[in-house]
């Protein structure tokens, strides 16, 4: 596995073409969206139980999948989570999809949706508990066009909690690239 690291500022400064770029970033989650009542956009979507694609319909009338033709009264829910991540250089908004968001929050989207329906306070506590934790993120940066504006989009491909011993060794390796240390001359009194 690639153990190189880039800062968020370096990733934001990439001149992206049609091909995505990949990077490992050591960062802290500063916010899990939505973390306020004003942003009531769900962090999950209803998906097909067969192909996991987005379905149409609702819990009252049932669901149907336009991709594989499935229809039924029950669907599964999958995450589409927005995170603010920060390092020493800047903050960036990134997307984490189902597997990464489940690892981050410790609950499936089905379980978290049920918890939200039961207790808004407990739901918010799960989101708050994920904030201010440090990870090494494997990210993909690519350009997307929305309403005739090209923007860089960052997606979490994987995340690992920080292993401080490994990270310290990597930092020491980076420091060694700056050349050998000079011995300090003894001080005379």
Is pTM, for the whole model, over 0.75? yes
96 and 76 Cβ atoms separated by less than 8 Å: no
Residue 33 burial (CB count, 10 A): 15
Sequence-separated (6 or more) residues with CB below 8 Å from residue 136:
5, 24, 25, 26, 159, 160, 162, 167
Q: Which residue has the tokens 């139980």?
A: 49
How many domains does the structure of the chain reveal? 1
User: Has residue 66 been placed in a domain?
Assistant: no
pLDDT the model gives residue 36: 46
Q: What is the pLDDT of residues 82-131, one digit of tens each?
A: 999 999 999 999 999 999 999 999 999 999 999 999 999 999 999 999 99
User: Has residue 75 been placed in a domain?
Assistant: no
Domain membership of residue 160 as a residue range = 8-40+82-176
48 and 67 Cβ atoms separated by less than 8 Å: yes
């Amino acid at each position: 596995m690639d153990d190189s690291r880039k800062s968020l500022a370096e990733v934001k400064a990439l001149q992206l073409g049609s091909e995505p770029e990949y990077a490992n970033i050591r960062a802290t989650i500063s916010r899990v969206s939505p973390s306020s009542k004003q942003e009531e956009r769900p962090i999950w979507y209803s998906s097909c139980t067969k192909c996991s694609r987005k379905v149409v319909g609702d819990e009252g009338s049932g669901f149907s999948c336009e991709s594989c033709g499935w229809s039924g009264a029950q669907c599964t829910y999958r995450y589409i989570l927005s995170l603010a991540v920060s390092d020493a250089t800047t903050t960036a908004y990134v997307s984490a999809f189902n597997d990464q968001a489940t690892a981050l929050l410790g609950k499936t989207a089905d379980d978290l949706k049920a918890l939200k329906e039961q207790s808004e306070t407990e739901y918010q506590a799960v989101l708050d508990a994920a904030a201010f934790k440090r990870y090494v993120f494997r990210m993909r940066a690519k350009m997307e066009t929305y309403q005739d504006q090209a923007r860089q989009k960052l997606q979490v491909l994987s995340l690992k909690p920080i292993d401080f011993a490994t990270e310290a060794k990597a930092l020491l390796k980076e420091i060694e690239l700056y050349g050998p240390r000079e011995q300090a001359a003894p001080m005379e009194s």
